[in-house]
Amino acid sequence: MITKEPHLLPSGDCIVAIAANKAAADLNPEFKQALNQPNTKLTITIEADNIYETIHASGSAELQLTHLTDLVIRKSNFICNRTLAIQADKASNNLSRTLIEKLKNPQQKIKITLTLTSTPNTSPNSNTTHS
């Protein structure tokens, strides 16, 4: 999960980034519309000090993308207003240990890039958030 909240609770073991500059509600309307199209794939790239991790997931026509503080990438098909993508190939506990060590540092700046790949008639679209 990625959140705009400025702090991490002890129970937040699946949170990848805090103090993000975007949540679901903040995403570009065109990006949201493209993510809601059938057969849309989303690539999430997390970067911290030249360490990169990539997650592949799917969009859905059911995505609401309205949450004011959070973005959640799910391995399942569960959708709520926090859900950014479903059917992800990784969860937070599948990220590389090297990246996780970087993310444990509260001063660590990270960049998360969201890149859409849609049907052949749609051009790719991108959004970036920083934490």
Q: The sheet that has 111-117: what strands, in order across it?
A: 51-58, 41-48, 111-117, 125-130
Q: Domain boundaries in the chain?
A: 2-130
**103-110: long-range pairs with CB below 8 Å, 24+:** 103/16, 103/17, 103/48, 108/48, 108/49, 109/48, 110/16, 110/17, 110/46, 110/47, 110/48
Domain 2-130, CATH: 2.60.120.630
| pTM for the model | 0.85
Q: What is the pLDDT along the chain (131 residues), one digit of tens a residue?
A: 999 998 876 666 678 888 999 999 999 999 999 999 989 999 999 999 999 999 999 999 999 999 999 999 999 999 999 999 999 999 999 999 999 999 988 899 999 999 999 755 545 566 666 65
